[in-house]
Structure 1
């Protein structure tokens, strides 16, 4: 006999706002996605000018990817909306993922979708500690789903 826990996805808390180390500046920006409660921000190296990466964060259970992999109630979707130099972008994404995992111990995975045609973004995500898991076809094209497992805690 198996025991199932019923989870009310409406009760899942919003993704926490990452507070990164002093080497990074985090600035809130307007979200472009309408998938549930979304946090959007730009991350910049404090000692450099120019944005390293622009990200949107949401819970996987509230967004478009929830049917494309075995979603956990506290999984986070990290959408890369834009990036500057790939070295700074990967470091910013890694620091953000590390902080999200630290802030939300119940989060098992961070999902980073990426168009399969965007090899630069996919390489940046892999450099940031994400692993390619599968491809999915959508109305907007084919996406690779990359995951960062929480067992890679900082």
Structure 2
């Protein structure tokens, strides 16, 4: 296993997960909160997945795909559980990416805008629309504070 291998995230109560499949770059989990209906979550290293040629991907960027969320609130709750679990599994992950299908084939009920709003409620921000072979996607990212911090001391070279 290489240093860049995707590590299965661990979830604390009330969340439970079951690994459905896992490899070095991609995994599928069944994620549940208590007795709620479970959702399938797919995690993919962006550098090895469908987004690899779509933006300047980092080796540790992870795309999240959620299947089976019953509504926008359920999606927000799910994303709120997944992001910290990914960060705990790989503290060097710079971007967690969530994509919304711009062609209307949503993975959650409602419009693309309601899905984007649900992701934004979970701390994601819209970045760009991209085209990949099978569809057009709106990419949203969640980045830790250490990535987005700005050093306002213009007389200082970072890292020195």
TM-score by length of 2: 0.75
Residue segments in structure 2 that go unaligned for 5+ positions in a row: 107-111, 148-160
Question: Match of 2:77?
Answer: 91
Unaligned stretches of 5+ in structure 1? 1-9
Q: CA deviation at 1:94?
A: 1.3
19, 28, 31: which is aligned to 2:10? 19
User: Residue 111 of structure 1: CA displacement?
Assistant: 1.1
Deviation track 1:57-112 (CA, whole Å, cap 9, x = no partner) reads 12111111011111111111111233123323211211110121122111111111
Across the aligned residues of Structure 1 and Structure 2, the Cα RMSD in angstroms comes to: 2.4
Question: 1:18-43: per-residue Cα shift (whole Å, max 9, x none)?
Answer: 11111111122257xxx973110121
In 2, are the aligned partners of 1:12 and 1:74 still within 8 Å (CA)? no
TM-score after normalising by structure 1: 0.78
Aligned residue runs from structure 1 range 132-143, under 5 A:
132-143=126-137
Matches of 1:30 and 1:124, distance apart in 2: 27
| Equivalences, count | 139
Q: Distance in 1 between matches of 2:75 and 2:99?
A: 15
1-side partners of 2:16 and 2:9: how far apart?
A: 11
**Separation in 1, partners of 2:134, 2:79:** 24
Q: Is contact 2:54–2:131 with CA below 8 Å preserved after alignment? A: no
Q: Which is higher, the Rg of structure 1 or of structure 2?
A: 2
Change over 3 Å in CA distance of 1:130–1:23 after alignment to 2: same
Shift of residue 138 of structure 1? Answer: 2.3
The answer (yes or no) to whether the contact 2:4–2:59 under 8 Å persists in 1 is no
